[in-house]
Amino acid sequence: MALAVLVAGAVAVRIWLMVSYGPAFLGFPDSHGYLTSASTGVFSGVEVPAGYPIFLRALHALSDRLTVVILVQHCLGLITGLLLYMAVRRTGAPAWLGLFPAAIVFFGGTGLLLEHSLLAAPLFSFLLTASVCAAIYALWEPTLRWPLLAGLAAELAGKIVVDCVNPLGFDGGGAYPLPVPEGSAAQQAATLLHDTEATMITSSRSSSERVAEWRMRSICSLMEDSFSI
């Protein structure tokens, strides 16, 4: 009963977002990169993994409405919360304990913002959660399907986003970059993780210039609830 109430509330919140703030939250510069890669070639963007552009192209084959993408992402958010609940319950924990991670996904402000934006995070979170859930099921059910599903979902999740954490320090004036002995955070990660490769991408344009370009080139067409690929 409690889970049904949470799910009903989560659905209501997402319906409210789609009605009140349609078609999506706009203004993220990464969204322009995803659209460009989906349009010009899913492997054309050096800063954009192919997974999310492939996802956009698949949805575009069904409809060119941005609302459809956002609807699917909200559904992925709901499924992610349910998967977390199932994973907790499969360990033998009480039902009330499984409600906590589900509620965070259902009603967390950051998650809702990302679901309602043209960003890869909802798809990544869904695949990663599916991998964890399948791995937990594999511990209790010694069949081949769960390990295969866990490995497949984790591998697909790695094709959705690329993260690099830049070390920062903080003082009275705010954040400032910390020097990295290896030269960059990517090179440091490659040193620590021996089976990885470091990829450094430089740009002559400032972040503000790229944000301005994204807004000028994309926001008007997206406001019309359509995207061209």
Q: What is the pLDDT along the chain (229 residues), one digit of tens a residue?
A: 899 999 999 999 999 999 998 888 877 888 888 888 888 888 876 677 888 999 999 999 998 899 999 999 999 999 999 999 999 999 999 999 999 999 999 999 999 999 999 999 999 999 999 999 999 999 988 889 999 999 999 888 878 876 656 667 777 777 777 777 776 666 766 676 655 555 554 444 444 444 444 444 444 444 456 666 6
List Cβ neighbours of 78 (8 Å cut-off, separation of 6 or more): 7, 10, 11, 14, 106
Domain that holds residue 30: 2-163+207-223
Q: Are residues 37 and 99 in the same domain?
A: yes
* Residue 93 lies inside a defined structural domain of this protein: yes
Beta bridge partners of 105: none
- Number of H-type helices and E-type strands within the chain: 10, 2
* Residue 228 lies inside a defined structural domain of this protein: no
Neighbouring CB atoms inside 10 A of 160's CB total 21
Q: Are residues 103 and 194 in the same domain?
A: no
List Cβ neighbours of 24 (8 Å cut-off, separation of 6 or more): 66, 67, 69, 70, 116, 117, 118, 222
What pTM does this model have?
A: 0.75
Q: What's the confidence (pLDDT) of residue 197?
A: 53
Alpha carbons 127 and 227: distance in angstroms, whole number: 24
Count how many domains the chain has: 2
Q: Are residues 169 and 158 in the same domain?
A: no
* Residue 229 lies inside a defined structural domain of this protein: no
Q: Is the peptide bond preceding residue 23 cis, with omega within 30 degrees of 0?
A: yes
* Residue 9 lies inside a defined structural domain of this protein: yes
Distances (CA, A) of 157 to 114, 126, 148, 161, 222: 16, 8, 14, 7, 26
Q: Are residues 187 and 102 in the same domain?
A: no
Q: Are residues 189 and 107 in the same domain?
A: no
